[in-house]
Chain A
Amino acid sequence: MDINDLKKLRDEAKKDLELRSGEHAYKITISMGTVGIAAGARDVMKAVIDELAKREIDDIPVTITGSLGFDDQEVVMSVESAEGEKVTYARLDTQKAREVVARHIDGGERVKEFIVGIAELPGNTEENAS
């Protein structure tokens, strides 16, 4: 595989990502600050991506951000829905993260055991504007 294969893949994927209002309308954000990294956030990310790929879910963007403010409960990951609901999961390891992908992303059911917070975002302004 080289960069040209990747570009081809990119063109295919772009269509999927643009149609993000479909069935799998989520966005995953993983906290990747110093503490998160030390707690294994990078491995969690790999597990999440692997699990998404296994389930052939290709329309969910995964991004990383700095500390989300739960340093004592890393690894932290949030799942945001198109409706603006943001569910934050904490104390994750690779196995738990796979479970979140399976049950929340694929199954549409929150994984209560790992939740530390749920927030409703004030409207999806950017999407409403378009």
Chain B
Amino acid sequence: MLEELSQDILDVGMNAAQAGARLLKVRVTENGAKDTLTIILADNGRGMSPELRAQVLLCFRTTKNNHNKNLGLGIALLRQAAEECDGRFHLFTREGMGSIIAVQMRRSHIDRPPLGDMAASIAALCCTTGAMRVHYEHRCENKKIVFNSGELFDSDLDLNALSAKEMIAIETILNEGEMEIRKVCPDTIAA
């Protein structure tokens, strides 16, 4: 297990980049009344065949003997994290159409990892090799933040090449948003 859910999001988001996605949508929704934390990752990469889909769901079975670099432990780890927290996991995918991964878990579950440094994960996903744009949304109660890396580029084809100054600026913007959210709902429930 990874320490933070934001690391799982980075990990699974990297799969999208490697699947040639042009767009990755990440949506995190926290609902205090229903006590749920929902993470949805949707990409328009090349998707998975039914065989590949079955493989990626099998934890620790696939990486070493299979030289297909587009699959790894990431999805299995996120699934495990969700299921250990009274959660649910869904993977919808079709070859040539992209993939949607949706997990929901009990927000107050004692084993739920903190979301952690979302700003760093999203900022990192903004500079994958290639031209994948990231659309990020984080909602909690009545607060909502949205960040779209596509707004930074003139054309959809521009490769992600950001300067250090820009990356720090992206992280600052994201962090300011996350802090607003954390004012209304703290990351970890238990003290």
Contact = CB atoms under 8 A, between A and B. Distances in A.
A37 B10 contact: yes
A59 B56 CA distance: 38
Given A3-B151, A64-B14, A17 B163 contact: yes
A33 B14 contact: yes
B181 interface: no
A34 B7 CA distance: 9
Given A34-B73, A37-B11, A13 B127 contact: no
B77 interface: yes
A52 interface: yes
Given A66-B14, A66-B18, A5 B163 contact: no
Contacts of A81: none
Given A33-B72, A43-B120, 17 more contacts: A1-B169, A2-B173, A3-B151, A6-B166, A13-B162, A16-B163, A17-B163, A34-B11, A34-B77, A38-B2, A53-B168, A57-B164, A63-B127, A64-B14, A64-B124, A64-B125, A66-B14
B102 interface: no
B108 interface: no
Interface of A: 1-3, 5-7, 9-10, 13, 16-17, 29, 32-34, 37-38, 42-43, 45-46, 49-50, 52-53, 57-67
B172 interface: yes
Interface of B: 2, 7, 10-11, 14, 17-18, 69, 72-74, 77, 117, 120-121, 124-125, 127-129, 147-148, 151-152, 160-173, 176
A7 B124 contact: no
A58 to B, nearest CB: 4
A67 B164 contact: no
Q: Give the interface SS of chain A, mostly helix, strand, loop or mixed.
A: helix
Contacts of B128: 63-65
A42 B121 contact: yes
A58 B152 contact: no
A61 B173 contact: no
Contacts of A42: 7, 10, 117, 120-121, 124
A29 B128 CA distance: 9
A65 B161 contact: no
B164 A52 contact: yes
| B73, B167, B170, B176 — most chain A CB neighbours (10 Å) | B167
Given A9-B169, A34-B11, A37-B7, A66 B69 contact: yes
A63 B166 contact: no
A62 B166 contact: no
B173 A1 contact: yes
Contacts of A9: 165-166, 169
